[in-house]
Amino acid sequence: MKNNVKIIFHIDLNAFFASCAAIKDPYLKDKAFVVGGSSTSRRGVVSTASYEARKLGIHSAMNINDALRIFPKLITVPVQFSLYQKYSRLFFNFIKRYSSIILEGSIDEAYVDMTQASETKHPLDIAKEIQQGLMAEYQLPCSIGIASTLFLAKMASDMKKPLGITVLRKKDIVDKLFPLPIKDMYGIGKKTYPKLEALGIHTIGDFTKEEFKIKALTIMSEQSYQSYLDHILGRSSDIIDPKRYAIPKSVSNETTLNYNMDEPEAIMKIIRELLETTHERLVKEELVAKTVGIKLRDTEFLTINRSATLQYHTDDYLSFLNAVETIFEENYNNEPIRLVGVFLNQVVLKKDLKVDYNLFTYQELTKREESIYQTIKTINDKYPKSTSKGIKKTS
């Protein structure tokens, strides 16, 4: 009988910002330093601390002044996002050599389905190869967790840092996971774990005991409690859908005109039509945008892009239209135009404005979407002509 158990890797780059800083400036290697603030100022907070600094009690989110009081010789390095983006791209491209089923957890961590790759090579051998390869090629240390679900893989990668490889099978949950402090459980927030501890729930194992369930339900819903329990016991998601959170960076539409056009009203009419089409896609994909703009190309092939950033993310058609009309009036100089375009930038999922993505919402959002779909379907089946979808348009 075929084994249907998935093999999920969670690959976590160790002290990523600090690692990047040490790659750029080898002098920092094996030194106690932090990324955050600036090299000339004591202001700001620690973004990442090197492992040497962590041994001294310095950690992320700590005030730079407090860190310097602990260790006056502490080196501070400014944040360098372009450097992190460069090595993040190298990291994800490296992982793609082993699997195409990847979910980017953040700039420095990846959930990877290694089920197929493990058919020809042992998962531990693959993990060692990845770990050694990232160090050899890019000087990027990482820890890897191997398990049958995303949550367990995430927990496993946190068990040994830096440069650890941990296998967490379902039969290992009681021995390896249960003894961990409840504050170390992924998904339990900084405000929640002290409340759980106050109730006598000090370990992950405590949380699973029936005797503590009633107490836990005083600070969380039944649904949340069950979701946490499913994650702990290995009953949560083992599906990595790379496309699920792959949203476009922008939504746009453009058209080359049949003839050169210099009539403002006619050009604006086309811009409105393009905006309507662009807006339809935004709404259909449940996205919102904060920046709207137009693209104009003249007969000399000179192209200009002009945009306006709104105060809030929105999917309101009239807000986009008002901004586009103003942009056009301020930038069109009555020259003949051969191409017109409209674009929406700073695009995010509408639900992400209220709900941060994590492994728990990943599963719960799927359940919610299915529930909403079934409700709508039931209504439509019962009253086929009473419901319809629409978007805001202007006449």
> What does DSSP assign to residue 122?
-
Spatial CB neighbours of 226, under 8 Å, sequence gap ≥ 6? none
Give phi and psi for 136, each to the nearest 5: -70, -40
- Strands 75-77 and 287-298, bridge-based pairing: unpaired
197 is catalytic: no
Angstrom distance (rounded) from CA 243 to CA 253: 22
Determine the Cα–Cα distance for residues 56 and 32; give it in Å rounded to an integer: 8
Among residues 104, 109, 222, 335, the one annotated as catalytic is: 109
Q: What is the per-residue burial (b if ≥16 Cβ within 10 Å, else e) of 208-229?
A: beeebeebbeeebeeebeebbe
Helices marked H in 96-178 — which ranges? 123-138, 150-157
Residues annotated as part of the active site: 109
